[in-house]
Structures are given as C-alpha cells and as structure tokens.
Amino acid sequence: MEGVTPRRSVTVLREIVHFTLEQPDRQITAILDSERAVRIASRREYQLFQLLHILRHLDPLLADSLIAGHQQLSAAARRFPKGRDSVMEEAEERRRSAGATTGGGGGYAMVGSPRDFPYMHALMKASNDGDFGPPNEHAHERYRQDSAPDHPNPTAKEYWPSTCAFRSILHSAGKRLGRDAAVYLDRIPDADLRLFAQIELTAALAGLPELQGIRRG
C-alpha cells in the first residue's frame, strides 16, 4: 500500500479509540463464546474489544492501558487476549477438534445467497480496478433494507448484511487504495456501521487480514 506508513496507521487507530471513548455508552448484550460465559454489557467496551487485535499489533501499550481501565474488557481479554483474532482461533480449533473426533476432514467452503452475487462480483472487480462505487451502491441498498422503518432488521447492527458489506468494502479499498479509501467512510449513513467499517480499514492499513462478520437477516 503505497504511501501508508505504520505511524499513520497508529494515528488512525488512536483516533478511533478516542472517538469510541467520547461516545455515550449504552447497555448491550454481547456474547463472545459458545458457552455464553464471556459477555460484555457495555457498548463502549465491546467496541474496544473489536479493536483489540489491531491494538495488540500496532499499539500494545495503549491496549494494556485500555484493558486496565475497563473491567469487562479486561475479563474478555483474559479469555481472548488478541480480541477477535483469539475468538476466531478458538472457533477454528474447536472445528478441527470436532472434525478429528467425528472423522471428518478437509477444508470448508464459503457460499452466499444468489442475491449477493452482484455485490460480490462488483467487489471483486473493484479490488482490481480501484473503483469501489459499484459495491458501495449494493451495500447502501442492503442498508436501506436493514433500516427500513416498516420492517427493520431486528438483529444487532453488527450482524446486518449491510454492516458486513461495508466492512468488506473498506478492508478491500484499504488494501487497494491505502488511506485514500477513507473517502468511502463518509458515504456510510450510519455512525455505528461507519465505526465497524473504519476498524476494518485500519486493519487493512496495518496489513492485517479481514475478519468476516456473521450475517443475520
């Protein structure tokens, strides 16, 4: 990513943390493990947990400071020290163990609904030519469906299809365009979805892989 420096990535990351800490907190229910034992009830601390894998990579001192100052984040970090990375690693280990126990094996396949194929094709094309306008239009259409006043998606915004689309777009745009990809953040109409996408952009700028979100609805 030409023109992107580690210092710039750290600056963007700290801006996200500052923004997260400034926002009013509210109660949520975020369950991080299959036993339902690790939970976060603070929206602010859950968003910090979403950043933890990037913080560990780019600014470990800030990560330690945030963990020390937030009780629920600290409890979650004891089980999942690298945040979402640790959650995914544990899930993958469970999958492998289950496969060994049942005699299953092989890899896995990712599939999507036929309604998503135009978006997926547009995103693949954008990753080559650098024009992320077309996949952005698909994501906005999904957002209009998710936020429809008469029939909104009842799940948490993290799981909305539009959230996952915006996340993938910003991560792909970050890898292709570097920090110039931030222009697509301004086009996301919802502050929560914009923050999730900004996290993925920061991960891309830091050279970290995208973590696929779970879609519901």
Average pLDDT along the chain, 217 residues, taken 10 residues at a time: 58 86 87 86 91 90 97 96 85 76 41 66 90 95 94 86 93 91 92 89 83 53
Select from 66, 13, 61 the least CA-distant residue to 42: 66
Residues 190 and 157: beta-carbon distance below 8 Å? yes
Give the number of domains in the chain.
2
**149 in the same domain as 58:** no
pLDDT value of residue 150? 92
**103 in the same domain as 49:** yes
pLDDT value of residue 114? 59
**140 in the same domain as 71:** no
pLDDT value of residue 35? 85
| Residue 163: both structure tokens together | 């959230």
Residues 34 and 83: beta-carbon distance below 8 Å? no
pLDDT value of residue 163? 92
Residue with tokens 């990560």: 63
pLDDT value of residue 212? 55
pLDDT value of residue 113? 53
In whole angstroms, give the CA distance from residue 10 to residue 83. Answer: 18
Domain end point (choices 56, 77, 108): 108
Sequence-distant contacts of 151-154: CB under 8 A, at least 24 apart:
153/216, 153/217, 154/217
